[in-house]
Amino acid sequence: VEQLFSAPAAQYLLPVLGEAPHGEPPDPQKCSPREYLEFYIFPVLLPGLAAVLHEAEKEKCFEGKRTKFIPSDFLTEWLYNKNPKRKDESFTELFSIPFVKDWLKDHPRAPVPLSLLLSEEEASILIQSFWRGYRVRCDSEIQELRLWQKKLREERYINEVVKKFWAKQEAK
């Protein structure tokens, strides 16, 4: 263990967020991987990761197991919009970024489950309304009314009348 951690801890410290290390930037084609990371990658990536953590905290990701927040999407959008080459351009949403559009054409995403889109209040209202509807449909008078409607539909051929009606409407 001592051999693995014998180097001083200061050697492993990362630069301060948003600051490039002091000194002349090295040639990106000839510098070591460590220098490249310290001068070109970390000054851009670390503030983005900090923004991801702040956004995750806002989205309450640390409170539950499931969340609709996708950190890689947020980081992609953040890095794209903070790119110095896009300094004077307006904010672009993730799904409007050209390379994201191209990627999603070939690799469509599955829809986000409704359980992640609804707030707890909205979900509880849906569940309660479903339950109330179920209890009402179990009532004997409602069952009798539903049977009467079914017989009426069968006797008067309502489905055929509706089909003829729409056929006339489409013909116009």
* Residue-range domain boundaries for the chain: 33-111, 120-171
Average pLDDT score over the chain:
84
| The token pair that represents 22 in the structure block | 């002091």
Stretch 120-137: mean pLDDT: 94
Contacting residues for 37 by C-beta, under 8 A, at least 6 apart: none
Within 8 A by CB and 6+ apart from 47, the residues are 17, 18, 82
Among 122-131, 142-151, 157-166, where is mean pLDDT lowest? 157-166
User: 67-113: per-residue pLDDT in tens?
Assistant: 888 999 999 999 999 888 888 899 999 999 999 999 999 999 998 88
pLDDT of 14 strictly over 50: no
pTM score of the predicted model: 0.60
